[in-house]
Structure 1
Amino acid sequence: MMTPVERLFTVFDETAQLLQEELQCTYLEAVAETGENLFHGDVLQSEVSELNAKRLKKQYRELMLERFQNEEIRKAFQLAVLKGMRKHVQPHHQMTPDAVSLFLAYLVREFTRSHLALKILDPAVGTANLLTAVLNGLRGKQANSYGSDVDDLLVKLAYVNANLQKHPVQLFNQDSLRPLFVEPVDVVVCDLPVGYYPDDDNAARFALKAKEGRSYAHHLFIEQSLRYTKEGGYLFFLIPNMLFSSPQAGQLNEFLKEAAIVQGVLQLPLSMFKNDQAAKSVLILQKKGPNVKKPKHVLLVELPRFSNKSAMQAMMAKIDAWITEEKEC
């Protein structure tokens, strides 16, 4: 018997393949189309033949989307998107691993224990997999969320993904390093796009622009995120491990000393990555403000494999104790 995630994925996959043939589009585009159809309970594409429209409606109707939990919908949609990305790979079409998304959701929840409502921004939202994982992990907190991405197909997938999970996310299809129409937020989550930023004129607006040559996009994303964070707000970045040892690291360190407090650096298991150069960590920052204190000890940990449940539970207990101690001091 299929699990709910497998059942949902099967419907996403079969209906996307049918739409791919009917619409002569990529599988990834067809996933977005079928997701929108499923949300509306109808076939919205006029090009689809009458016979195939009936087939699609039957599958959508029999699925009964309202019976599924948000996390089941997110995971099934993620599997369909991952299948599409394997056929349609571009460097920026990389999804945050699911275990990492869930771990970031846990961190956001624990660091914002005292908040009843949150404003959250993901400035590199992609398909909104990370953002909706965080929203699903908030457990009853009210949330207003925003996402921005330059890729129009990813934004469409994010829109469909958020709709299917009934999250009212405001999405912007734009270069996220240009001005955003977003009020300052309590939390930023971002799997930083790593590489050089091609627009030197726009990079000149940033304190972290390179003194010579091209600027690092991941540095500019950190600065941009801090611009749109409230004083005392938290930022959770997925960073390359070499962030603080790269050629422009000195400039980044100086900037962060002025603008933020480092709350923690949590190194992800090296076994998750193909090689040491691809390895990543979670960087937790807090934007400076009048009532913001430095932690007595920065949270520095090497995370065990996520599959090692007892080791992960022990690590999470350690993180919980650190947060409790820092919040009470």
Structure 2
Amino acid sequence: MNITPIEKLFALFNETALILQEELNCSFLEALAETGENLFQGTILQEELSELTVKRLQKQYNEIQIEKFSKEEIRKAYQLVILKGMKENVQPNHQMTPDSVGLLVAYLVDRFMKETSFCLLDPAVGTGNLLLTVINHLQKNISAIGVEIDDLLIKLAYVNANLQEQPVQFFNQDSLEPLFIEPVDVVVADLPVGYYPNDLRAAAYQLKASSGHSYAHHLFMEQSIRHTKPGGYLFFIIPNGLFESEQAKQLHDYFKENVIIQGLLQLPISMFKNKNAAKSILIVQKKGEGVKPPKQVLLASLPTLSKKAEMDNILNKLELWFAENKR
């Protein structure tokens, strides 16, 4: 029976994390971050382990040379182990962006960005899966920044990037606090949807609610636009009802003033547990000198991504749109 490289890596991450989880008396995901760090550093960093545990781990680590695996093999195996850990300890806001969506975002970034080198920001980086999927699929020179408030998620993201040898700078902070970063060329974000609890901080934004809590996803968009260079592109994964909420008019006015809508691709409903959770990819460009709106906005409803013929048909339509609008 042939074991694929991804299965080999999954087994290594999973088994060594289980050993560390038991010995360190921590959660599976914390143990996974620890084992990933060991693999990256090429040594066992936890000083409190018994001699037997060190030998067991060493034996497993020695069986695999991480540098022989491709970046995508490492990312996929690591992602699968994270998903396993998240099932055991579910936090509703930590849904990982599905691979198919990440690949679609990578394709769109590639088609919109003509430059061969640029800087990319993910202000809601989580475990880094979306950001790393995009970087891995672009044959371009990309420097990247990821911001995440959750200590554990950012540790997983940092180990994830290290194992894939991708140059990402991580900031462990609330993304809606001031970001001390240079303006970027591109933003990708699977927006956290819901209310932002810090009304004092929200008051610094144009998109703050006139009463009660503001929408976090609106503030994330404003923060992202603020930190994008004029003419830069932003790819947001948004809830389908974004423009139908009671704060939608405000968002509409803000967009009119600051960005040009380039496209809206509705993801297949079948990807989501219920249709209320369905999402789309919104593509906007920050206004700036010489930035012109497209002849027509790119609008499409994507079929189930596994339906090859329908998917090819949509991709042909997208390519036609690029030919007519992005010369």
Which TM-score applies when normalising by structure 1?
A: 0.98
Q: Give secondary structure in 2 for the equivalent of 1:124.
A: coil
Instruction: Please say if residues 236 and 284 of structure 1, whose CA atoms lie closer than 8 Å, have aligned partners that are also in contact.
Output: yes
Equivalent residue letter for 2:56: R
CA distance in 2, matches of 1:261, 1:37: 45
Uncovered stretches (5+) of structure 1, i.e. residues with no partner? none
Equivalences for residues 167-316 of structure 1 within 5 A: 167-316=166-315
Stretch of structure 1 that moved more, 61-70 or 159-168: 61-70
Q: Map Cα deviations across residues 11-33 of structure 1 (whole Å, 9 max, x no partner).
A: 00000000000100000101100
Uncovered stretches (5+) of structure 2, i.e. residues with no partner? none
1:129 paired to 2:129: yes
Aligned to 1:321: 320
Stretch of structure 1 that moved more, 311-320 or 116-125: 311-320
Equivalent residue letter for 1:60: Y
Equivalences for residues 52-201 of structure 1 within 5 A: 52-112=53-113, 114-139=114-139, 141-201=140-200
CA distance in 1, matches of 2:107, 2:51: 46
CA distance in 2, matches of 1:61, 1:319: 47
| TM-superposed deviation, 1:315 | 1.4
CA distance in 1, matches of 2:103, 2:55: 37
Q: Give secondary structure in 1 for the equivalent of 2:154.
A: helix
| TM-superposed deviation, 1:284 | 0.3
| TM-superposed deviation, 1:205 | 0.3
Q: Map Cα deviations across residues 88-142 of structure 1 (whole Å, 9 max, x no partner).
A: 1112211111111111111111111x20101000000000000000100111x11
Equivalent residue letter for 2:35: T
Instruction: Please say if residues 15 and 56 of structure 1, whose CA atoms lie closer than 8 Å, have aligned partners that are also in contact.
Output: yes
Identity of counterpart residues, as a percentage? 62
Aligned to 2:33: 32
Instruction: Please say if residues 41 and 57 of structure 1, whose CA atoms lie closer than 8 Å, have aligned partners that are also in contact.
Output: no
Instruction: Please say if residues 41 and 61 of structure 1, whose CA atoms lie closer than 8 Å, have aligned partners that are also in contact.
Output: no
CA distance in 1, matches of 2:310, 2:297: 21
Q: Give secondary structure in 2 for the equivalent of 1:96.
A: coil
CA distance in 2, matches of 1:133, 1:271: 22
The count of corresponding residues between Structure 1 and Structure 2 is 326
Equivalent residue letter for 2:122: D
Instruction: Please say if residues 236 and 283 of structure 1, whose CA atoms lie closer than 8 Å, have aligned partners that are also in contact.
Output: yes
| TM-superposed deviation, 1:313 | 2.1
Stretch of structure 1 that moved more, 59-68 or 147-156: 59-68
Q: Give secondary structure in 2 for the equivalent of 1:42.
A: coil
Aligned to 1:45: 46
Q: Give secondary structure in 2 for the equivalent of 1:63.
A: coil
Instruction: Please say if residues 16 and 34 of structure 1, whose CA atoms lie closer than 8 Å, have aligned partners that are also in contact.
Output: yes
Instruction: Please say if residues 208 and 223 of structure 1, whose CA atoms lie closer than 8 Å, have aligned partners that are also in contact.
Output: yes
RMSD: 0.8
Equivalent residue letter for 1:321: L
CA distance in 1, matches of 2:41, 2:183: 32
